[in-house]
Structure 1
Amino acid sequence: MTGFARVDGHGDGYSWTFEAKSVNGRSLDVRCRMPTGFDSVEALARAEAPKRLARGNVNLTLTITRSQAVSQLRINRALLAQVLELAREIEGAGAAPPRLDSLLAVRGIIEPVEEDETDARERVESALKGDLAKLFDQLVVNRLGEGARLAAILNGHLDEIARLVGGASACASAQPEALREKLRLQVATILGSFPALSEDRLAQEAAILIGKADIREELDRLRAHIHAAREMMAEGGAIGRRFDFLCQEFNREANTLCSKSADVELTRIGLSLKATIEQLREQVQNIE
């Protein structure tokens, strides 16, 4: 859910920079920093964000600089008419007619006209809204690129979980005999010199322990979770919440496997499994 985007623009005497930064978050939280007077742009940003994004803390910043206003020029026709009338009176007294550059040099003949600021602001806001769409497009592309890189990491963790599940399955086949031998040693220690239990009774007790320590269901569920995770990733879209819940189920099965273990090697595999699942869960927090 991390990403960054930037769009620069200018027009009508304004220049601006849009920036968007996205970091991890459990839900979508949009924070805007806009100059005073551009509330409509902020409202549009808050309305558009949920259409493009599902999760993440998104910070939008708009910086605007007002450049020197470019003024248009116009001729003050009323003043020019007065000057020409005075020139004709002077010509009647024998003076030479005034030259054009002399007339234009008279203060006030040519005057600047400021453009209507309201119209300029409206055009700027319209341009800003267009750039806002570009900003979100860039952010989405950036986040998708980050997601593609995370997909490779997630698949690596799932591959490791599958490998550990295979190792646990191999250990599980030896678990009944290990439990039977463990029970035999415990009974021998308790009874000491007393007569040992019959083979039938020992088999019954071993069967009870083996039933309680059977991890085949946990291994089957772990395999099912791996399959579900891969399907979810292939599906795409906003899968972060569902994937996070699936990681909790992964961890539940790993904990049960460790609690049922009667073998050192199986316990080692279970602990490695829990560590890998935790690494998977941490990376899942980074996806939408």
Structure 2
Amino acid sequence: MIQSMTGFGKHVVQLPSKKITVELKSLNSKSLDINARIPQTYREKELELRKMIADALVRGKVDLGLYVEITGEETTAEVNQGVVRNYMEQLAQIAPGDEIKLLELALRMPDTLKTDKDDIDPEEYEAIKEAIGQALSKIIGFRNEEGKVLEKDFVERIENLKSLLDKVKSMDPERIATVRERLERAVSDLKVEVDANRFEQELIYYLEKYDITEEKVRLDNHLNYFDTTLNSDDSNGKKLGFIAQEIGREINTIGSKSNYAPMQQIVVQMKDELEKIKEQMLNVL
């Protein structure tokens, strides 16, 4: 079963005095790239949180948003009363005035608020990890659903390629006969006497260069291998990508060897189907 790298997960936890919101968003990427936006208080736990995400999501460009909103009376900021009084005294010496006005001016000055760095509450941190775990479950569910859509499209494209390959196989004898006839007619038009045995040898050598038997067999094997990998237990987008490259190599060789317009038209259709597979492959985990 394949997974998409595109997904979204969100979970909210309400504590007595805080509301914790975790958001996870992922897009496709060649490797794992985590961008974390978390409060300064929890920076020391960032590596641990990143490992949680890396173990679960494996690959993709992932944005983590951790938001902590104080909903109770708790606050970490206090007015630095001594500093404020000192500012008011200095301002009064410069221009005596109403205390309320002096207070307003003093509060605009630097260092009038002090913020004590809180120690991380173990219960609160456990709630954050639980929220991240729930968000991960949701984003993985999202990825699985997107993966089902991709899988359905891949199955359809591979079946189309198999159908086109069957057309190539059925057309191949006619192609060889047409190429042979074209060569014989070209030699005949030269109106020169040729050694029949030597001509037959050269003709066989020429036709062998345009033989696509091996390419047809390998392409058939690659298409079946793609199906097998698609139905495996793990999601391996890189492996599917390598198989798609091999499929493309065989299609290109058939096109270059065909030397027959009807078959080349089928090859163009095969390339179109493969290109659509490659576009979708960028999203597979």
RMSD: 2.0
Structure 1 residue 128, shift from structure 2 partner: 0.6
Bigger Rg over Cα = 1
CA distance in 1, matches of 2:74, 2:278: 57
Match 1:230 to one of 207, 222, 227: 227
Q: 1:161-186, CA deviations, whole angstroms, 9 ceiling, x for partnerless residues? A: 10011011111122221121121132
> For the Cα contact (< 8 Å) 1:28–1:50, is it kept in 2?
yes
Matching residue's letter, 2:33: D
Superposition pairs of residues 170-209 of structure 1, within 5 angstroms: 170-189=170-189, 191=190, 193-195=191-193, 197-209=194-206
Q: 1:148 to 1:174 in 2, by over 3 A?
A: same
Deviations 1:19-59 (A, max 9, x none): 11111111111111111111244322211123212221111
Aligned residue pairs: how many?
241
Q: Percent identity?
A: 26
User: Which whole-Å CA distance do the structure 2 matches of 1:123 and 1:266 have between them?
Assistant: 68
Query: What are the superposed Cα offsets for residues 120-153 of structure 1, whole Å, 9 maximum, x if unpaired?
Result: 8432222111111111111111111111111100
Map 1:1-288 onto structure 2 (within 5 A).
1-69=5-73, 121-189=121-189, 191=190, 193-195=191-193, 197-288=194-285
CA distance in 2, matches of 1:285, 1:118: 43
In structure 1, distance between residues paired with 2:42 and 2:120: 13
Using structure 1 for the length normalisation, give the TM-score.
0.78
Partner Cα distance (1:201, 1:240) in 2: 52
Name stretches of at least 5 consecutive residues in structure 1 with no aligned partner.
72-116
* CA-CA distance at 1:236 after TM superposition: 3.0
Displacement of 1:198 after TM fit?
Answer: 4.0
What TM-score, normalized to structure 2?
Answer: 0.79
Query: What amino acid is aligned across from residue 151 of structure 1 in structure 2?
Result: E
Letter in 2 for 1:273: M
- Residues 70 and 37 (structure 1), Cα distance of their counterparts in 2 relative to 1, 3 Å cut: closer
Q: In 1, are the aligned partners of 2:150 and 2:280 still within 8 Å (CA)?
A: yes
For the residues of structure 2 that align with 1:13 and 1:127, how far apart are their CA atoms? 13
> Unpaired segments of 5 or more residues in structure 2?
76-116
State the distance in 1 between where 2:44 and 2:235 align: 28
Higher normalized contact order (CA 8 Å, seq sep 6+, divided by chain length) = 2
Kept in 2: contact 1:13–1:66 (CA 8 A): yes
